[in-house]
Structure 1
């Protein structure tokens, strides 16, 4: 599983972590358009995207708005459930056929009480989720549409090839027409 390879960048993978992933981890194949997690659900799972492209989105004034994209190697979680035990407003679906490895985060937390390795693993997972969320909030609050597009182009150019332009425009908080103008000016 690629999750162990990915997490090994941050935490030493020992037998306890490997055993946890093997014992409690599961895989799920998603078809294009299939929903992984629905809004108003209480989803205690932590997902690791092995293959494919996912997005989180919500509805506002009858419009489908993309909150985030997730590609191979990303961790995905319903943060409201993990931190507050509340449902989330976002949906997560597959933009292309995808494979996720997942496990119940509550089970990880339960086992952390007896394992320093798993506690460090959990702490690192939460750190990655929080850092990604902070980066997204910063871009929404402090960057122009053009700057957000340039950042996406620099950091994740493959998303521009894999996701429909309407989703990319809503992710950037702009119309498709404005996206076209930005793209032609670069």
Structure 2
């Protein structure tokens, strides 16, 4: 069961056979993360790429003693400090479980091995990378162009699971405002 969501995602992008199914089971390791647990700490190279089966995770860093959330991710999705993971350099951000999480993880060596197993795995990586780049480009644009209320309204519309499951202080940081500003926006929306 824990591999079904990942295999469904993969098969929605490329055609996989029994050998590919076996590779996913061999190379991706089931892992449970507890609420509040730091999976990949700032200052160390990110060891794993995580696929989220259940739960919510965030990437954050510290600025002037405050936590700044740069990404919140939920199922089905991949998350890590990508630059650190790819380049094996110390991460500038922390990866933390917001809730208890059920994950599958793969290290860089095994991911590279998977990519060498055929052109279709490269195609899968290309599609996932393009999706991630598109998301990050849109998020950057939204942070520059939309005001705080518009960013919150877009989050409600596009990612309602985050609104229902993630603490307000993380959501506020994610959309670039203080928690008290988010509370005011929420009151205005409700009234």
Q: How does 1:19-168 map to 2 (within 5 A)?
A: 19-168=22-171
Aligned to 1:3: 6
CA contact under 8 A between 2:86 and 2:108: conserved in structure 1? Answer: no
Counterparts of 1:113 and 1:94, CA distance in 2? 31
Aligned to 1:17: 20
Counterparts of 2:114 and 2:156, CA distance in 1? 40
| 1:33, distance to aligned residue in structure 2 (A) | 0.7
Counterparts of 1:43 and 1:121, CA distance in 2? 22
CA contact under 8 A between 1:67 and 1:171: conserved in structure 2? Answer: yes
Counterparts of 1:77 and 1:151, CA distance in 2? 24
Structure 1 unmatched ranges of 5 or more: none
TM-score of the aligned structures, taking structure 2 as reference length? 0.88
| 1:70, distance to aligned residue in structure 2 (A) | 1.0
| 1:3, distance to aligned residue in structure 2 (A) | 0.7
> Structure 1 residues 161 and 139 mapped into 2: Cα distance closer, same or farther (>3 Å)?
same
Counterparts of 1:125 and 1:44, CA distance in 2? 19
Aligned to 1:181: 184
Query: Which digits, 9 at most, give the CA deviation of each residue in 1:78-112, with x for residues without a partner?
Result: 21124443222111111111111111234332443
CA contact under 8 A between 1:26 and 1:103: conserved in structure 2? Answer: yes
Structure 2 unmatched ranges of 5 or more: none
TM-score of the aligned structures, taking structure 1 as reference length? 0.90
Q: Which moved more, 1:132-141 or 1:67-76?
A: 132-141
> Structure 1 residues 111 and 181 mapped into 2: Cα distance closer, same or farther (>3 Å)?
closer
Q: Which moved more, 1:59-68 or 1:75-84?
A: 75-84
Counterparts of 1:82 and 1:11, CA distance in 2? 24
CA contact under 8 A between 1:109 and 1:119: conserved in structure 2? Answer: no
Counterparts of 1:122 and 1:98, CA distance in 2? 23
Q: Which moved more, 1:111-120 or 1:91-100?
A: 111-120
Counterparts of 1:35 and 1:156, CA distance in 2? 23
Query: Which portions of structure 1, spanning 4 or more consecutive aligned residues, are displaced by more than 6 angstroms?
Result: none
Number of corresponding residues: 186
